[in-house]
Amino acid sequence: MLTTDFSPVNNLFLAYPDGFQNEYEELVSFYDKLITKIPPDINLFLIVNNLKAKERLKHKFPRKKIEIIIEGTWNEIWLRDILGIVKDDYIIKPLYEPNYCNYLIANRNIRQLNNSAIKIAEDYIKMGVIQLPLKFDGGNFVANQNFAFITEKILSDNKLTQNEVITIINDALGVIPIIVPLNKGDILGHTDGYLSFLDEDTICITEYPKMEIFKYDNEYSNILGSICRDLNFRTINIYDRPLNYSIKCECELQKERKCCTYAANGNYINFLRLNNTIILPEYTLTTLKETIHYNNINEEILSNLGYQVIKINCDTLAQHGGSLRCLSFTF
């Protein structure tokens, strides 16, 4: 059985960036706040890459039960993308090989990250690893037990036909891939920026402000909604308010396009689900009125559906291109 976002979970893995010596180290204070919001019945595992970070964590959270894992070469926070997908007693691990920014790739040892992810899975998650012969990030996989939404980026990344990709994923994971188009200007191609399953029959779809600058985003949201309804899903709108801040880098690809990636500020659908608890991002938006409206309306929607909603400001995290689902690995 596939572990989905709405499956019962006992364990949460996070990568704690104290000592990462890259752009993520500024997120230490954010992680400290996030750790305090994790429900006490969840077993929390934190990956660090040095002994000093482990000792500091022990002093910061002396009363919180945390297992701290030292993996000396680890320097990445996006565990959802890297670690893989849990099925039964195994982790099905695609090849993590991001190609949207060659500056970032040049400053990451991608092979080492993949090898370290397998080591973490085997030594600490205590699961066998089946390597999937496909390149794609875990953020581009939003699934229930029957279907998985994946953008067509997986086709160009692997230079395979749609039928070939569908067959590989169906054989390995037992779900039918629904290959959806890319949103205009979206380089990442992650479906978890637009969709989130609440249960087998209910899926959240992001909705954007009715403004001209979001014309194509709203058209894209309508396409996703139509696909979901054709599959007989009940759809719930989550209201996003993107700020479209570009992420600075020194990438050669910027000669060909405006920027490589955008910040995730204003993306609410990328929340962290832990059983009946939803840890929901909140953001500082362009005006106080917008900030209050969007930070409250999504909490109200999810609370009315019966979830315990805990909010955390994700302004700094979002500047790195992702939000709460992106950085978490649960099972």
Torsion angles phi and psi, residue 102, rounded to 5: -75, -15
Measured CA to CA, the distance from residue 292 to residue 303 in angstroms comes to: 16
Measured CA to CA, the distance from residue 287 to residue 300 in angstroms comes to: 20
Give residue-wise pLDDT tens across range 63-116.
Answer: 888 999 999 999 999 999 999 999 999 999 999 998 877 555 555 688 999 999
Give residue-wise pLDDT tens across range 209-239.
Answer: 999 999 999 999 999 999 999 999 999 999 9
Distances (CA, A) of 246 to 10, 75, 117, 257, 297: 36, 22, 29, 12, 26
Measured CA to CA, the distance from residue 135 to residue 6 in angstroms comes to: 25
Give residue-wise pLDDT tens across range 39-66.
Answer: 999 999 999 999 999 999 999 998 888 9
Q: 86: which residues sit within 8 A by CB, 6+ positions away?
A: 2, 3, 92, 127, 331
Percent of the chain at pLDDT above 70? 94
224-228: long-range pairs with CB below 8 Å, 24+: 224/149, 224/180, 224/194, 224/195, 227/178, 227/180, 228/195, 228/203
Mean pLDDT of the 282-287 span = 97
Give residue-wise pLDDT tens across range 245-277.
Answer: 777 766 665 555 566 777 899 999 999 999 999
The half-sphere exposure of 313 on its side-chain side, counting CA atoms within 13 A, is: 10
Torsion angles phi and psi, residue 8, rounded to 5: -60, 130
Give residue-wise pLDDT tens across range 156-177.
Answer: 999 999 999 999 999 999 999 9
Q: Which amino acid is at 214?
A: F
pLDDT at 259: 63
Greatest CA separation for the chain: 53
Q: Give the CATH superfamily of 11-330.
A: L-arginine/glycine Amidinotransferase; Chain A (3.75.10.10)
- Do 217 and 182 contact (CB within 8 A), yes or no? no
Percent of the chain at pLDDT above 90? 86
Mean pLDDT of the 114-140 span = 96
